[in-house]
Amino acid sequence: MMEMLPWKYNLKKIEEINPSLRYQEGEDFAAWQTKARAKIAELLGLDNMKKADDDMFTVAYTKETEEYTEYRFTLQSEPGYIVPGVMRVPCGATGKLPVMLTLQGHSTGMHVSLGIVKFPQDVQLVEQEDGDYLVRAVKEGCVGVAIEQRNFGECGGNPQTGNPDCHVSSMNAILNGRTTIGERVMDAMCTIDAVLAHFDFVDPERVMLMGHSGGGTATIYTAALDERICLAIPSCSLCTYKHSIAAMLHCVCNFVPNIAKYFDMGDIGGLVAPRKLVVVNGKEDDIFPDEGVRESYEITKQLYATAGVPDACALVTGEGGHRFYADPAWRVVHSMMRDDAE
């Protein structure tokens, strides 16, 4: 009998797991969500994070263009940790405005969301892969917000190459009973706090969140926990562990210790219900494979049906690989928001 390699042995163990906190038919759905959210917060290490008493929100500058007003800001999420960000408000907009918080994945930083090229690899993201998330959000009539996620760009990326640098920080987080995903969730939630507290033209009923790849992972966990988010768009991230992060080399920032014992990604998607969820993927994505995405989405879809809102979630599949698909995703977003308004 041939010996099994350690990684294949552990993958097989994951394939055999029946997550113990998965929703069970007949269970009170709201009670399950409450219990599941508490467990996910614990697994992410949020219990070992302390939100700063003072957000120290500071606007460094404002800039007017023909299309938008730009605010460059910083805020304190945890005592001593500063999150940089940019907000653009479309010109001519009046009344309470929807806001879209955008989270870059493994890229050179939040400037890509702004359509800015700083490194050679940014060209493909901006020009071919719809990576300028904030630019598109503003064109769609939203206040667009981008923040620098931990270990990317200004918050830990390699200044020479632009590449993200997650390993040491993520391992240190685990030593502290935390996770990088949890830290990114904390920063996103504190950004929502700050935007709502400091800009009265932002509609608290229309807070949306989107991200791709690692940003999509942060999006799904944040939306699962923060019920202020009315619509979430995780791209190339909602996929079974056995098909994606457990099956091949992925950055350590994707991993949450012990989570497979309790949940798979489809279960976490169900925690967004009854709020809107638009899952985006690529048919040829080789690191979040279509098969695993569809298996996860079926679990999420069943949970949305249990919540009584089967039409509040959607799967958008692009014909290519690991990238965002802005046009079809935004068509679904507008359709969902119109349904709410009617």
**22 CB-near residues (< 8 Å, 6+ apart):** 263, 264, 267
Among 120, 341, 152, 155, CA closest to 231: 341
H-only helix segments in the chain: 6-16, 29-44, 122-127, 133-139, 167-175, 180-198, 214-225, 265-269, 290-306, 326-341
340: confidence class by pLDDT, cuts 50, 70, 90: confident
Check pLDDT > 80 for residue 222: yes
Integer Cα distance of 279 and 277 in angstroms? 6
Angle at 206 between CA 204 and CA 211, to 5 degrees: 115
The pLDDT confidence band at residue 118, using thresholds 50, 70 and 90, is: very high
pLDDT at 45: 98
- Tell me what percent of the residues of the chain surpass a pLDDT of 70: 99
Contacts of 86 (CB under 8 A, 6+ apart): 70, 71, 72, 73, 110, 114, 134, 145, 146
Task: Give the pLDDT of residue 4.
Answer: 80
How sure is the predictor about 201, in pLDDT bands with cuts at 50, 70 and 90?
A: very high
Grade residue 97 by pLDDT with cuts at 50, 70 and 90: very high
Chain mean pLDDT for the chain: 96
pLDDT value at 170 more than 90:
yes
Whether the pLDDT of residue 339 is over 80: the answer is no
User: What mean pLDDT is predicted for residues 217-222?
Assistant: 98
DSSP classification of residue 201? T
- Locate 40 and state its tokens: 């996910």
CATH class of 32-341: alpha beta
Neighbours of 70 (CB within 10 A): 18
Q: What is the pLDDT of residue 342?
A: 60
| pLDDT tier at 186, thresholds 50, 70, 90 | very high
- The one-letter code for the residue type at 37 is R
pLDDT at 117 over 90: yes
pLDDT tens figures, 244-287: 999 999 999 999 999 999 999 999 999 999 999 999 999 999 99
Encoding tokens for residue 80?
Answer: 């001593």
Structure tokens at 105: 């994945």
Q: What is the pLDDT of residues 313-322, one digit of tens each?
A: 999 999 999 9
Q: Which strands make up the sheet holding 97-103, listed edge to edge?
A: 58-64, 68-78, 81-90, 143-147, 97-103, 202-212, 229-235, 276-282, 313-318
* pLDDT of 131 over the 70 cut: yes
